[in-house]
Amino acid sequence: MNVRTGPHTALHTPYLAALASQAEGSSGWLACHAGLLALRLVDQWMGTVGSGAAPAVEQLDAVHEAVDAVEPGPLQLLMQGVVDATLAAWGRANIGLGTALLAYGRRLHHEGAWPLASDVYETFIRYARMVGDDERLPDAYLRLGLAFRRREDLGAALGAYATAGALATAVGDRRVAWLARVGAANVERQRGDPDAAAAALDAVIAEAAPVVGNLPGADDVVARASHDRAIIEIDAGRFEDAVVLLHRALERYTDTRRRQRVLHDLALAFVELGMLDVGRDALQVVSATAEEPYLRLLADSNLMWVAVLAGQETVYERYRRALAEESLTDELAVAYATCVDEAERRFGAAVDIARVMPAWDGAPPPLVAHVANAVREMRAVVPVG
Amino acid sequence: MTDESHQLRVLVVDDEEAIGRALRLLLTRAGYIVDVVRTGAAAEVLLAERHFDCLVLDYRIPDVRGDELYLYAVGAQPHLRGRAVFMTGDITERVHATLDETGCDRMEKPFDVHAMLLAIGRITAGLRQQDAAG
């Protein structure tokens, strides 16, 4: 394996910022501390490949002690995996270390620790460039783009997506090249240019749709691009168009987590169109089955909203009390406050309590039937009480 | 009606539908409970929900490489360490070296179904014995 030289150290600012924001000794702080020491060990490994200089005993003790102090669970095991792979590879280039870094980054990513995930992915990229593990670089830049986007670092996200696209195109990986364009389109939407985003997503759908079934992953690309395109329609208040796109995404997604997200968005579109019963059914399924805690709470928050729209004060109050016990993100807290404000306005006035949004009768029946099928399918997996 | 409590559960991850179908049939007939998914993301959802006794992983899945998914799975369910069979169409030295590092079996595509059954049987033999003894 050829080893390229390059910068081996990094500041790991996201880890330092996360440490500074938490109480020393808390479980989050301990996990951050151990992760930082593990990444610094990787940095040191990168600096000593070929030289054989061993890590200091004190440093090793500190890393092991820090990882041991982390709450037992997947994150601790994956951090331990990074440390073990680094030590097993000491003084030589090693493939296993890259895999361990990516698996650790993926876990952080799924836990919503976007700044930390971006730091791990950047560490992987420095590692991969050094040891010539070029194969996984496009995907790593794609993940980095998403992590940057989620932490609202939009310029960095665009840069990462551009690199992912260029690398993927160079090796003929059409799936990653398309997904990089989808990611960049989402950055444009976040920057306030929905027209540019819509045009970019339409172009991806037009290219990928004809090869669904022939190219692995093309169905997922079409689903993701359609889902993101639907969000633009929702933002613009064009709910009928959004329903068509969301329906297409629901049909194409094979990943349960993404199906749950699109079902949630489809439910909201139906609610916006006045079809409260269809929307409520779908939201109840998402609330009962969603693997992501955030999505479950989001569904509950929207069920509370539907109860307000339907004039069901008792149902509204049940959701309100349950959500009041939860730790809500800023976004959910704003939604909660808005809903409570509206509920007080409506239920506080004796006249308007029974107000229900007018029924929308323009939904093409197959779409409604498809949503009903999806709801039944998901109910079968986890029955809703 | 089958008593599922004594059956071992295998997770198969392959984006090729035909291979997934064939493995489901083969392993179900051999007495396993089988979950088949086509992406790493779908596998991760199942790993968070269900206990698995063995993994059968394609090395090249569109959204994640098999060796990374294996490490992720071990993070989620530590007993899965060493309990995977990788399927690969790659025969490069680098791929072999990567899979060697996992310490797990590998089968080159197209593989002999009996060899696959034997490989899974080796992994789960100890578990069946524990079950019988218990």
Complex ipTM: 0.84
pLDDT of residue A381: 55
Report which of A65, A75, A74, A99 is spatially closest to residue A85, judged by C-alpha positions: A99
What's the rounded Cα separation, in Å, for the pair B38 and B66? 12
| Residues B68, A291: C-beta atoms closer than 8 Å | no
Q: Compute the nearest-CA separation of A258 from chain B (Å).
A: 9
Helix spans in A151-292 (H): 154-170, 174-190, 194-208, 218-235, 239-252, 256-272, 276-289
Whether B44 contacts chain A with CB within 8 A: yes
Phi, psi at B33, each rounded to 5°: -90, 130
* Domain spans, chain A: 1-132, 285-385
Residue of A77, A79, A178, A260 to mutate, interface with B, max B Cβ within 10 Å:
A77
- Eight-class DSSP state of A327: -
- What amino acid is encoded at B38 in this protein? R
| Residues A74, B76: C-beta atoms closer than 8 Å | yes
Whether the per-residue pLDDT at A128 is higher than 50: the answer is: yes
Q: Give the chain A residue whose CA is nearest to the CA of B96.
A: A95
Who wins on pLDDT, A69 or A348?
Answer: A69
- Eight-class DSSP state of A54: P
Q: Which of residues 60-119 of B touch A (CB under 8 A)?
A: 62-65, 67-68, 71-72, 74-76, 78, 94, 97-98, 101
Q: Compute the nearest-CA separation of B99 from chain A (Å).
A: 9
Those residues with Cβ within 8 angstroms of residue A168's Cβ, 6 or more apart along the chain or in another chain: A138, A142, A174, A175, A176, A177, A180
pLDDT of residue A83: 95
Percent share of chain B, pLDDT over 70: 90
| Residues A258, B49: C-beta atoms closer than 8 Å | no
**Confidence bin at A114 (pLDDT 50/70/90):** very high
Residue of B39, B46, B102 to mutate, interface with A, max A Cβ within 10 Å:
B39
Whether B18 contacts chain A with CB within 8 A: no
pLDDT tens, A327-337?
Answer: 887 778 888 88
pLDDT tens, A240-283?
Answer: 999 999 999 999 987 788 889 999 999 999 999 999 999 999 99
pLDDT tens, A25-49?
Answer: 999 999 999 999 999 999 988 887 7
Alpha carbon separation from B119 to B83, B87, B104, B106, B114 (Å, rounded) = 10, 11, 10, 9, 9
For B66, other C-beta atoms within 10 Å of its C-beta total 29
pLDDT of residue A11: 85
- Extract the tokens encoding B85: 């069979």
Q: Are A263 and A296 in contact (CB under 8 A)?
A: no
B11, β-bridge pairs = B35, B55
Alpha carbon separation from A235 to A181, A231, A271, A337 (Å, rounded) = 20, 6, 14, 20
| Residues A217, B71: C-beta atoms closer than 8 Å | no
**Confidence bin at A369 (pLDDT 50/70/90):** low
Per-residue pLDDT of chain B (134 residues; tens, 9 = 90+): 445 557 899 999 998 888 999 999 999 999 999 999 988 988 988 898 899 999 999 998 888 999 999 999 999 999 999 999 999 987 788 888 888 888 899 998 888 888 999 999 999 987 766 655 55
Phi, psi at B35, each rounded to 5°: -115, 130
What's the rounded Cα separation, in Å, for the pair A43 and A85? 13
What pTM was computed for the model? 0.82
What's the rounded Cα separation, in Å, for the pair A31 and A120? 14
Phi, psi at B101, each rounded to 5°: -65, -25
Q: Which residue has the tokens 């006045």?
A: A274
Q: Are A29 and A15 in contact (CB under 8 A)?
A: no
pLDDT tens, B86-104?
Answer: 999 877 888 888 888 888 9
Q: Compute the nearest-CA separation of B61 from chain A (Å).
A: 8
For A297, other C-beta atoms within 10 Å of its C-beta total 21
pLDDT of residue A340: 87
Domain annotation for chain B: domains and CATH numbers: 4-129 (3.40.50.2300)
What's the rounded Cα separation, in Å, for the pair A205 and A223? 9
